[in-house]
Structure 1
Amino acid sequence: MTTYRKLGRSGLHLFPLGLGTMQFGWSADEQTAFEIMDAYHAAGGNFLDTADVYSAWAKGNPGGVSEEIIGRWVKARGNRDDLVIATKVRGAMGEGFSQGRGTVHQREGLSRKWILRACEDSLKRLQVDHIDLYQVHWIDNQTPIEETLSALTDLVRRGYVRYLGCSNYSAWRLMEALWTSDRKNLESFVSIQPEYSLLSPTRANFERELQKACVAYGVGIVPWSPLGGGVLTGKYKRDAALPESVRADENARRRFSDKNFDIVETLQTVADAHQAKPAQVALAWLLAQPGMTAPIVGANSVAQLQELLGTTELQLGQDDLNNISQVSDWERARTDLEN
């Protein structure tokens, strides 16, 4: 039986794998997206993660497509009360308009003006009366954190949003936000969404600073790209031709190295010992790390999703975890600030 995980110090309990929906309307059409969400929900999944800008980069798609697909699925299935729906605000949605001699872009950022408008738009696209977890997608250096948190607090107190989270924040930015919430009596972030995996280029900094802050202050961690762009699934082999994939070329440029293939091959060895898949081992390792709530995984098919869902039944021993940590150690033990 799957154990749901508490999101930091909040009252939310999440399935141990969140379903990322960035690919909806991009590499997964609406019918496929419905099938993926059906399979996820049938397995007990309750955490859907999207953003207002998904999938704005797909050819011919404006932002909001992923939210719209989720909205139609929730309405068709009538399962709103079963779900924790998370979305994000910050990215540009539509064109800016001219003001004076320059162009002022008012349809992006973390100003009060845009947050209130963006939340209304997301609610309409999702066809819900509230958002369970509303996350700022990344920092906005042009807007004071007090203004951002004040606007988000208003949304919570009006009942449009239940909890607040952030994404892609550094440790000092997170602490600034928590301190501001405490000092100004504003709602605070209960979660953070960082990039984190065995291959994450910022892994050492995350483990040295941000992770410790999250554990100390009860901020739940819901990492994105937990499989390193798909490299940790084992579908890429050392010195082998690239498979057909929307990310193959990018992965070859950014993530191929002897060190990373050592990690992948270790995952395969552990997986073979447990009659599991490398992706499941990578996710199980992640779930064993301090502060982790629910890594966010994506899938382009039900078959891909079903493989990932097998993670919830996999129990790694301490030796397995140690072996994986050792082969992937980027000298973080020697740079740990506690030493």
Structure 2
Amino acid sequence: MTQLGHSGIDVFPLALGGNTFGWTSDEATSHRVLDAFTAGGGNFIDTADGYSAFVPGNSGGESEAIIASWLAARKNRDSVVIGTKVSTHPQFKGLAPANVAAALDASLKRLGTDYVDVYYAHFDDPKTPLAETAEAFNTQLKAGKIRAVGLSNYTGARITEWLQVCRREGFELPAVVQPHYNLVARRPYEREIAPVLVEAGIGSVPYLALASGFLVGSYRKIGLSSKVKPYLSVVGGLLTGKHRTKKQEFGRGPREILASRYFSAAGLAVVDAVEQIASARGVDMAAVAIAWLRGRPEVTAPLASARTVEQLPALLAGAELVLTAAETAVLDEVSARVG
């Protein structure tokens, strides 16, 4: 186990993403994944109130509800660490104080618990003064409804501003940040965010650890046609542009949309390096990508999802694998050329 920032909360060095629950994994499959994760030593489960409102027929909160039914069946609430997020549920958009309070109460009800371990601001809300949002989170912390404050998808400048507000007003500092960071998405995080986290003792739980499957070779032979126009990914609200290659189109599912941003000659070189190291060590490529993230000094627990139980062993192996200095240097060098 490792400590989550300065929170005093001990977590397994890999967080399980619950974004697939109620989306690509039905309730029974999700329960099996959760069982296998905890049997493998895991205890850190990530979700959001907006998962999975982006799926036709869903309304948001499906992931939390599935986790709740699992907790009720296993009676293990106190042995797991649950993080959820606010700002993307269709009924609770943004980070106005009243919305934060109402969304948290709704999440607690769906999860069947009276507290969450980590409560994240899922996306920055420029329409609400940051000082008001920070106070709203601190109020919930003092009320005992959350154990730690987290920030997701915040820039380094906005994290710094949140810290300044907390120090000025005497609020508890955020304990964890959830950024987009992996072997093919390094520069913004390492330049703008990581230094802030190190200085403040904040833990990092990077999402898209496997780059939506790109780093395990899922899309090595698939490109994006020059005829595909930019369009908005419903997952994360991220805009993806036109990627020109000479190969066929990516699929247009949410994961394929997200993975398309990584497709380049430099990105494929990273995939090749990951594969070579994985082959030499006798492990899956996912384990290597996760192990590289774990080697960063401020990273507490990379975040990865599993649609099925069969995908879990490779992820769990990444929580134990330690790369050599030479392996790390190879990955550092080749991934530095991306973007």
For this pair of structures, how many residues does the alignment match? 315
Distance in 2 separating the partners of 1:256 and 1:197: 14
Distance 1:42 1:156, change over 3 A: same
Aligned to 1:180: 165
Aligned to 1:311: 318
Q: Aligned match of 2:309 in 302, 305, 312?
A: 302
Q: Which amino acid aligns with 1:267?
A: V
Aligned to 2:142: 157
Q: Which amino acid aligns with 1:306?
A: P
Conserved 8 A contact 1:242-1:248: no
Q: 1:146 aligned to 2:146?
A: no
The worse-fitting range, judged by mean Cα deviation, of 291-300 and 253-262 is: 253-262
Aligned to 2:152: 167
Question: Could you tell me the percent identity over the aligned residues?
Answer: 39
Q: Which amino acid aligns with 1:263?
A: V
Aligned to 2:189: 206
Distance in 1 separating the partners of 2:259 and 2:99: 38
1:1-339 correspondence runs (5 A)? 4-94=1-91, 107-200=92-185, 203-238=186-221, 246=253, 249-250=256-257, 253-330=260-337
Q: Deviations over 1:65-92 (max 9, x none)?
A: 1001101110110001111110001124
Equivalent residue of 2:163, what SS?
helix
CA deviation after TM superposition for structure 1 residue 227, in Å = 0.6
Question: Which ranges of structure 1 fall in alignment gaps of 5 or more residues?
Answer: 95-106, 333-339
Equivalent residue of 1:163, what SS?
strand
Conserved 8 A contact 1:204-1:330: no
Conserved 8 A contact 1:234-1:279: no
CA deviation after TM superposition for structure 1 residue 246, in Å = 4.3
Q: Deviations over 1:224-268 (max 9, x none)?
A: 101111111123334687898945642564222111111101111
CA deviation after TM superposition for structure 1 residue 109, in Å = 1.1
Q: TM-score, normalised by structure 2?
A: 0.89
Q: TM-score, normalised by structure 1?
A: 0.89
Equivalent residue of 1:85, what SS?
strand
Conserved 8 A contact 1:231-1:251: no
Distance 1:248 1:22, change over 3 A: closer
Conserved 8 A contact 2:266-2:337: no
Distance in 2 separating the partners of 1:65 and 1:17: 22
Distance in 2 separating the partners of 1:183 and 1:253: 42
Conserved 8 A contact 1:152-1:187: no
Distance 1:253 1:234, change over 3 A: closer
Aligned to 1:102: none
Conserved 8 A contact 2:182-2:211: yes
Aligned to 2:244: none
CA deviation after TM superposition for structure 1 residue 329, in Å = 1.0
Q: Which amino acid aligns with 1:161?
A: I
RMSD: 1.9
Distance in 2 separating the partners of 1:197 and 1:247: 18
Distance in 2 separating the partners of 1:233 and 1:263: 10
Distance 1:227 1:281, change over 3 A: same
